[in-house]
Amino acid sequence: MTDIPVTTWSLEQTDPDDLRPAAAPEGDVRIVRSEVPSPEYSRFLYASVGGDIRWTDRLGWTYARWTEHLARPGVETWVALDRGTPAGYVELEPQDDGVVEIVYFGLVPAFRGRRIGGHLLSYGVARAWDLSQRWPELAGTERVWLHTCSLDGEHAMANYLRRGFKLFDTKVEEQPEVPAPGPWPGAFPV
């Protein structure tokens, strides 16, 4: 297996006023919280959004591991629905000292380029800032952060910067080149 250089950028917001929301897309696009922890649904979203951009770290998770993760207080999944069909999602994970990480964010390939991503990211960041309103046992949010890398979608970094995120770290590491698995075995490439 060949190693390739992968650049990882870490970005943050340190004040709710840092958020610069995108306009809502036209049409029937709604964003809803997946309130019932469902390993099946979460794995579906993960594989459908990340299958073509090499999201592989959770593919080997067991049902029990998914259940444990989703049951943690403050872990939230917000899903963009285009006329009722899942178009993408954002996953929030609280950390220590009022920090919330946007662990995953992205769109199913068929929904990219339709102005849904900026709206979904804006909504997800706003929900990260008000997370403790839904989870009173958590500290109020003081910082929202995420990372993206050179393997992610070509418009990811620009979207994060337009939403008001600031770069705070950059790393370049050699990683094994992993083929994009697609949303299920045998589905990619088309």
Would you write out the chain's pLDDT as a tens digit for each of its 190 residues? 789 999 999 999 999 999 999 999 999 999 999 999 999 999 999 999 998 888 888 999 999 999 999 999 999 999 999 999 999 999 999 999 999 999 999 999 999 999 999 999 999 999 999 999 999 999 999 999 999 999 888 889 999 999 999 999 999 999 888 777 777 666 655 4
Give the separation between CA 10 and CA 76, rounded to whole angstroms: 21
Give the separation between CA 77 and CA 37, rounded to whole angstroms: 9
Q: What CATH architecture applies to the domain 3-176?
A: 3-Layer(aba) Sandwich (3.40)
Q: Where are the domains of the chain?
A: 3-176
Residue 190: its pLDDT value, please?
Answer: 45
What is the residue whose two structure tokens read 């220590």?
96
How far CA 93 is from CA of 72, 112, 146, 166, 189, in Å, comes to: 9, 24, 10, 19, 31
Q: Where are the alpha helices (DSSP H) in the chain?
A: 39-50, 63-70, 116-129, 131-134, 156-162
Encoded amino acid at 29, one letter? V
pTM for this predicted structure: 0.93
